[in-house]
Structure 1
Amino acid sequence: MGITARGVGLLVAAVVLLAVGFRFAYPELALLGAAAATAVGYALVTAAWRPRLEVTRHADPDRVARGEPAAMTLTVRNTGRLRAASLVAEDRCGGASVPVPLLRLRPGRDTTVRYDVPTARRGVVPVGPLRVTRRDPLGLVALSRPYGGTVPVWVHPRIHPLTAVPTGAGRSLDGRVDAVPHGSITFDSLREYVVGDELRRVHWRTSARVGELMVRENVDTSLPRLVVLLDNRATAHPDRVDGVAESFESACEAAASVVTAAVRADLPVVLLLVAPEAAGTAGAGVAGPGAAPLDRLAAAQLGKEDTLDATLTRLRRDRPGDTLVVLTGPGGRGSLGRIGALRGAYPSVVVGVFGAAQPAQATELVVIDAVDGAAFAAEWDRVRRW
């Protein structure tokens, strides 16, 4: 609850008038002071009334590519039974405020407001909560309360179509990529039986132990596995304009393009970030390592911690794929030698460098120098040696 400047002035005047009136026996001044104090008390009681509002919101859509339109539909319903609500309200949309008219909202009625969500920049735009400000008729007290929750709108990086996908060492014998998802006999895991599974894949010993049918899950080792490593170190993207590193935005677009191309080709793909990601949930507008790749790219931020050596060591040890795609900025050109040391663990290593003033020099790596995501996609499709 906040008292306005007018309310503070009237409250001070009430104290002074009451003190002077009683001290020097002036009943008129005491009466004026009592009237002023009564007005402030009335304002407090009036502003303290809490309207019963039900707020629902719907994003259409809640996930868009950068620059595509997105809208938020906000519905406010007066669930009270006696009084109509005439309030001043505003909805938070990112860093901006959107006015929401709530004039003479009768009990049981609702009002709907629809407005555009800014998608000019990649990121997670938090929308909400609705803040309702209650004022008294004299403007002495203003009380602001939040209503409803926060709904994130995920602004994904732009996706540029890629016609080629590196196949690394995972090729079938006839020279093409084998897209059969369960064609090999390589054991991967056990799962519960579902209708339609072949009985020859049932693992009877485990089924007898757990008391329900368990099926062997095999993987096709002929499929190439892609690993996309996004360098989100602040030192790798030193050039910023208004706090935004365009080289990092371009790297995010390239990562989204490679991941999308791999998914469309039914190829396993893993997205990794050099700097640690913020842990959280999609409902809170934070995407952790277990979230969808495009959501993680939307929430990706530059990190100050330099963990490149630890990340490269983990890649060399775990080997989550056979084709490594590294995307970095002008500050990452000095790390190409350390990245090239992974050639023994990964048959194919592709490096994309964005925003560099001079082309990178690396003989054992496939290096793509690009100014933005569109240029990267064009150069990517020209590569003939993976």
Structure 2
Amino acid sequence: MTARGIALLVCAVLLLAAGFRFGYPDLALLGAAAGLAVLAAAGFAAWRPRLGVDRVAEPDRVARGEPAAINLTIRNSSRMRAATMIAVDRCGPSTVDVPLLRLRPGHDTTTAYPVPTHRRGLVPIGPLGVTRRDPLGLLTLTRTYGGTTIVRVHPRIHLLRALPAGLTRSLDGGADKVPQGTITFDSLRDYVPGDELRRIHWRSSAKVGELMVREQLDTSEPTLVVLLDDRAVAHPGDGESFEHACEAAASVVTAAAREALPVSLHLVSAASEGPFLDVLTEVTPGDGDLEATLRRLRAQRLGDTLIFLTGPGGRDDIGAVSGLRGAYPVVIAGLFGDRDAAPESSADRMIVIEAADGAEFATAWDGVRGW
């Protein structure tokens, strides 16, 4: 009930009381009229229109800064009368006005509006709030219609043209390091009709007296392990360095997927489950035990290249991460929040990239020599 409605209701009670108490029928008549107006307003606002709400996000997953829109369709399923209401749709932290002017029964109206994608994260859309107000402005009633649609704003992805080549020991006892893998001798077996003649090992065949064929395999496919430091202490201030670290992680896993290379994503504070970009969309800085995470990665030995991404608060932890070089032949650290984007590499295969944002990280990454 609005302030006007409350005032009119109070006046109705006072007028009725005074009219009956002191015998003034005119006052009682005015009080009755005011009371009837309040009752009529309540009946008008209490009418619940039957509305169907259909909301479609195009697209429902988008990179940070890219356009996305909501197509909202509202249908009046009532049979009695046209609906004129005030509708407001929730769009993230703000609201969007949706005009509903004399929406006739059996008809619908469609409106579209943009989704804010300037920040990474989940943007909830809906439900639709419909407000009915009586003509005298005595009473206002708001109801919600439809469900909620989630738009996922992924981190911005920067193109990485170079990727680590991998460092995997071959059966020959050496170390093969090539971008696309190599063919390495594995074993000998008896010749089977249909085998290529170029695979016959003639020296062994002469010794054995039968044709022997070489079995070969690929031994140098790189396996990337991305460790995102999502501790709040590693990203002090406004946490913008964490946004840049998420962009770097998204860029690495996307580049690995493009080249069909094995890659895994790990967080310090929690387990990462689901598609990598969705995980990077939903993650927020929290508490975590970096030492426990490093012990787990050392024991599991999930790949040959470890990529650690952190902020200014994690600079002192780079030394602890470099201790994993026994389990991971190549260790790369990305430190965000610094203006020096020049990569630094050392003879013990520890590479440190300092960058102000994701774009500088991509430039410095492609500038690393020795991939």
* Structure 1 residues 361 and 51: alpha-carbon distance in aligned structure 2, compared to 1, 3 A threshold: same
Which residues in structure 2 correspond to 1:85-96 (within 5 Å)? 85-96=83-94
User: In the alignment, is residue 298 of structure 1 matched against residue 298 of structure 2?
Assistant: no
* Structure 1 residues 170 and 133: alpha-carbon distance in aligned structure 2, compared to 1, 3 A threshold: farther
Letter in 2 for 1:299: E
Q: Match of 1:377?
A: 362
User: In the alignment, is residue 111 of structure 1 matched against residue 93 of structure 2?
Assistant: no
Shift of 1:231: 1.0
Q: 1:69 aligns with which of 59, 67, 70?
A: 67
* Structure 1 residues 5 and 179: alpha-carbon distance in aligned structure 2, compared to 1, 3 A threshold: farther
* Structure 1 residues 71 and 179: alpha-carbon distance in aligned structure 2, compared to 1, 3 A threshold: farther
Deviation track 1:340-380 (CA, whole Å, cap 9, x = no partner) reads 22222211111100003789999552110001111101111
**Secondary structure of 1:16's aligned partner:** helix
Shift of 1:152: 1.3
Deviates more, 1:292-301 or 1:261-270: 292-301
For residues 171 and 62 of structure 1, what CA distance do their matches in structure 2 show?
43
For residues 344 and 12 of structure 2, what CA distance do their matches in structure 1 show?
79
**Secondary structure of 2:136's aligned partner:** coil
Unaligned runs of 5+ residues in structure 1 are: 185-218, 278-288
User: In the alignment, is residue 353 of structure 1 matched against residue 335 of structure 2?
Assistant: yes
Deviates more, 1:166-175 or 1:16-25: 166-175
Percent of pairs with identical residues: 61
Which residues in structure 2 correspond to 1:56-205 (within 5 Å)? 56-170=54-168, 175-176=177-178
TM-score (norm 1): 0.80
Q: Match of 2:2?
A: 4
**Secondary structure of 1:34's aligned partner:** helix
Which residues in structure 2 correspond to 1:240-279 (within 5 Å)? 240=238, 245-276=239-270
Shift of 1:179: 7.0
Q: 1:13 aligns with which of 11, 14, 24?
A: 11
Q: Match of 1:201?
A: none
User: In the alignment, is residue 317 of structure 1 matched against residue 261 of structure 2?
Assistant: no
**Secondary structure of 1:238's aligned partner:** coil
Shift of 1:15: 1.8
Contact 1:275–1:306 (CA under 8 A) maintained in structure 2: yes
Shift of 1:156: 1.3
Shift of 1:38: 1.4
Q: Match of 1:286?
A: none
Q: 2:221 aligns with which of 209, 223, 230?
A: 223
Q: Match of 2:323?
A: 341
* Structure 1 residues 358 and 60: alpha-carbon distance in aligned structure 2, compared to 1, 3 A threshold: closer
TM-score (norm 2): 0.83
For residues 55 and 29 of structure 1, what CA distance do their matches in structure 2 show?
48
**Secondary structure of 1:119's aligned partner:** coil
For residues 299 and 15 of structure 2, what CA distance do their matches in structure 1 show?
80
Unaligned runs of 5+ residues in structure 2 are: 187-216
Shift of 1:178: 5.7
Deviation track 1:104-129 (CA, whole Å, cap 9, x = no partner) reads 11111000001111112222211111
Contact 1:170–1:177 (CA under 8 A) maintained in structure 2: no
* Structure 1 residues 169 and 321: alpha-carbon distance in aligned structure 2, compared to 1, 3 A threshold: same
For residues 106 and 161 of structure 1, what CA distance do their matches in structure 2 show?
51
* Structure 1 residues 30 and 220: alpha-carbon distance in aligned structure 2, compared to 1, 3 A threshold: farther
Contact 1:336–1:362 (CA under 8 A) maintained in structure 2: no
RMSD value over aligned CA atoms? 2.5
